[in-house]
Amino acid sequence: MKKIIIAIDGPAASGKSSTAKLVAATLGYLHIDTGAMYRAMALKILRSKVDPNDTVKISALATRTSVRLALREGKIRVVLDGEEVSGEIRLPEVTNIVSPISTVSDVRKLMVHEQRAMGREGGIVLEGRDIGSVVFPNAELKIFMVADARERAVRRRKELGTKGVEISVEELEKEILERDRIDSGRSVSPLLKADDAIELDTTNLSIEEQVEFIVEKARKIIEQ
Ligand code: DC
């Protein structure tokens, strides 16, 4: 059976993670959340007390950093310099600085290198901002997920609520729009829909519908 690469890109909180996870589980594929890798780097910057806009210091730090994704007890864990940080990388303090940090080209080089190594064999679903455009431009299936900003804020609020973090929808919408602006406007690998990506607007779709849409497209390619 052919093992393909599925690239799922899209703006913050567009539903990529939950969808990618279920698509991977349905197909028996590995799921790689590349945003988690940028978050791990942001956590390192936060802990090192380096200014998140100091690109020179961030570049230097990136060359001395290891960010890995490891499969433990059936779950992918984010490992920063040997330490598991899967929970900590979701903290709002990390979210607040991750976009400027991911504009630094040395940080991107480090992450893209790791991602390509993990995806080489296929049988993988990678989600992020630049998977279909930069990391795997030859991916067999590319999906670009979009959703209304207010709907994305509502979803993010629900997700944070389950972790005991209370933030208003208005505040989250503002933060999401700001991240969209930085992610789309940066000069290195900006968030953009690859020409051959299929756009999927999830504003009015259930998670099951999103998963079904992608799995059906993937199966057609796998069985070709
Ligand atoms: O998917 P997320 O919200 O966890 O991603 C966090 C940040 O990481 C996002 O604001 C931009 C950056 N990112 C990126 O630049 N490229 C990727 N492939 C994935 C994420």
CATH code, 159: 3.40.50.300
Give the per-residue pLDDT at 189. Answer: 87
Pocket test for ligand 1, best of 95, 98, 107 (most atoms within 8 A of CB): 98
180 lines ligand 1 (CB under 6 A): no
115 lines ligand 1 (CB under 6 A): no
Domain count, the chain: 1
Ordered alpha helix ranges (H), the chain? 16-27, 34-48, 55-62, 92-101, 105-119, 149-161, 169-185, 207-223
Strand-pair partners of 146: 201
Give the per-residue pLDDT at 40. Answer: 98
Residue closest via CA to ligand 1's atom 16 equals 129
179 lines ligand 1 (CB under 6 A): yes
Residue 149 lies in a domain: yes
Residue 166, domain extent? 5-199
Residue 210 lies in a domain: no
Each residue of 46-73: pLDDT tens digit?
999 999 999 999 999 999 999 999 988 8
Residue 213 lies in a domain: no
> Sorting pLDDT into bands at 50, 70 and 90, what band is 86?
very high
Residue 113 lies in a domain: yes
Look up the pTM and report it. Answer: 0.93
Decide: 5 and 20 in contact? Cβ < 8 Å: no
Residue 212 lies in a domain: no
**Ligand 1 center to 99 CA (angstroms):** 7
Provide, rounded to the nearest whole percent, the portion of the chain with pLDDT above 70.
100
Residue closest via CA to ligand 1's atom 20 equals 35
Each residue of 199-216: pLDDT tens digit?
999 999 999 999 999 999
Give the per-residue pLDDT at 181. Answer: 93
Q: Is the dihedral of CA 58, 177, 80, 116 positive or negative?
A: negative
Residue 208 lies in a domain: no
Sheet of 141-146: strand order equals 30-33, 124-128, 5-9, 141-146, 198-201
